[in-house]
Amino acid sequence: MFNFEFYNPTRVIFGKGQIDKLHSQISKDAKVLILYGGGSVKKFGTLDMVKKSLKDRKIVEFGGIEPNPRYETLMKAVDIVKKEDIDFLLALGGGSVIDGTKFINLAANYTGNNKAELLTNPKAVASITKGLPIGTVLTLPATGSEMNMGAVVSYKSGKFPVFSPLSFPRFSILDPTITYTLPLTQVANGIVDTFIHTVEQYVTYPAEGRFQDRTAEGILQTLIEIGKKTIDNPKDYDARANLVWCATMGLNGLIGAGVPQDWTTHTMGHELTALFGIDHGKTLAILQPAIWSVRKDKKRDKLIQYAERVWGITEENDDLKIDLAIEKTREFFESLGIKTRLSDYGLTSDKIDLVVSNLENHGHTNISETGDLTLSISREILEKAM
């Protein structure tokens, strides 16, 4: 196992009706900026519940954070944070709103003039020494943003991950019933996103991270058990509660501590979202089977372990085991209603050049857990994903 530091300061407040506890988590004299997306929280009453719980605190609202939040939108909120002298940021939404809120906080506290450099320069991010406290009310289980220090921001033709310990939410309220109103395709996206976060930290090469491996396998098996169930019965509380908890635990630092991590699927997926607007979860479902097919040899030992322990495949022949595991993974995504080929989204092979040149422009020329996944291998993966 590799050396590691594990730090996670986010308080999780989980379960039905827990939004009532919101008022106890924020100082009484704080001026709160509530941030949300395109309006689902208004339509389904979550914003009203939040305001009720905040009682007579001073509140300012900022709505309109779009999926795959754009830098320009977020900068409008940075102005409000300053002008209104805000003391607390409360994000109400899925990954996009939570990530957007994290970036707004960093940009508002960055002393440099060009805030866009925070997207590409980790040293600029590290120079920020203080931020406002952030709280979240999660409405979409998927990204794990509610309990991690990452944020992904869209700018020009790219998506940029930004990491800072200042971005850990102070608390996150996870009420599975708030997610009942999600369109089923978003629930499916969330299941796939959680699945891929887990395998990006698990299907790499053996590193004697036994706890990490067994925990990852537990998350994957839980998703396989409850995935279709929570789509077919959106109001099955226990199925949904298990999805929410898996999503949070899949990307809060726990299973990735001390083991190799890949992130090829995410790196390539971000380019597909940036170029063609395909939902984050769907890009991952398209790429993962193709990546494993192309990288079978590099990932051989862990793919065999994945086949045996997650899918219970008992074939004698190891190559067959791997092929069956890849096929079962694809079938699982398809069973949730998510298509797994680029052509299913109307893309033709003449678009591959564009994706490869975007990867190159963003410096993704040597990715994966071994740093040897070059542009020509990315091209092969994209061809396989057609």
Among 175, 193, 200, 271, binds Zn ion (CB under 5 A): 193
Considering the complex, what minimum distance in angstroms separates the CB of residue 15 from ligand NZQ? 16
Q: Which residues ranging from 228 to 257 are in contact with ligand NZQ (CB under 6 A)?
A: 251
The DSSP output letter for 269 is H
Tokens 């594990």: give the residue.
Answer: 6
Examine residue 148 and tell whether it contacts ligand NZQ (CB under 6 A). Answer: yes
CA proximity to 192, closest of 256, 284, 292: 284
Farthest-apart Cα atoms in the chain, separation: 67
Considering the complex, what minimum distance in angstroms separates the CB of residue 284 from ligand NZQ? 8
Q: Which residues ranging from 60 to 119 are in contact with ligand NZQ (CB under 6 A)?
A: 67-68, 93-97, 99
Transcribe 178-204 into DSSP letters: GGGGS-HHHHHHHHHHHHHHHHHTTSS
Examine residue 53 and tell whether it contacts ligand NZQ (CB under 6 A). Answer: no
Structure tokens at 148: 């991690």
CA distance 20 to 10: 18
Examine residue 205 and tell whether it contacts ligand NZQ (CB under 6 A). Answer: no
Among 14, 44, 276, 345, binds ligand NZQ (CB under 6 A): 44
Residue 281 CA: distances (Å) to CA of 20, 112, 284: 31, 34, 5
Structure tokens at 375: 């542009």
Tokens 């091209």: give the residue.
Answer: 379
**What is the contact mask toward Zn ion in residues 225 to 254, using x (rule: CB under 5 A)?**
------------------------------
Examine residue 264 and tell whether it contacts ligand NZQ (CB under 6 A). Answer: no
Phi, psi of 378 (to 5 degrees): -60, -40
32 versus 247: smaller Cβ distance to Zn ion: 247
Distance of CA 155 to the CA centre of its chain: 18
Examine residue 176 and tell whether it contacts ligand NZQ (CB under 6 A). Answer: no
Considering the complex, what minimum distance in angstroms separates the CB of residue 169 from ligand NZQ? 11
Binding site partner of 179, from Zn ion, ligand NZQ, none, Cβ cut-off 5-8 A by kind:
ligand NZQ
Stretch that binds Zn ion, among 68-76, 193-201, 309-317, 358-366 (CB under 5 A): 193-201
3-class SS of residue 317: coil
105 versus 179: smaller Cβ distance to ligand NZQ: 179
CA distance 250 to 317: 31
Binding site partner of 152, from Zn ion, ligand NZQ, none, Cβ cut-off 5-8 A by kind:
ligand NZQ
User: Which residues have C-beta within 8 Å of that of residue 51, sequence separation ≥ 6?
Assistant: 34, 59
Stretch that binds Zn ion, among 125-133, 187-195, 238-246, 285-293 (CB under 5 A): 187-195
Considering the complex, what minimum distance in angstroms separates the CB of residue 92 from ligand NZQ? 8
- Say which amino acid occupies 216: A
Among 166, 182, 272, 373, binds ligand NZQ (CB under 6 A): 182
18 versus 143: smaller Cβ distance to Zn ion: 143
CA proximity to 204, closest of 260, 258, 253, 248: 260
Q: Which residues ranging from 14 to 33 are in contact with Zn ion (CB under 5 A)?
A: none
Nearest residue to Zn ion, scored by beta-carbon proximity:
193
CA distance 172 to 90: 10
User: Which residues have C-beta within 8 Å of that of residue 49, sequence separation ≥ 6?
Assistant: 19
Among 266, 299, 302, 321, binds ligand NZQ (CB under 6 A): 266
Residues forming the site for ligand NZQ (CB under 6 A): 37-41, 44, 67-68, 93-97, 99, 139-140, 142-145, 148, 150-152, 159, 178-179, 181-182, 186, 189, 193, 251, 266, 280
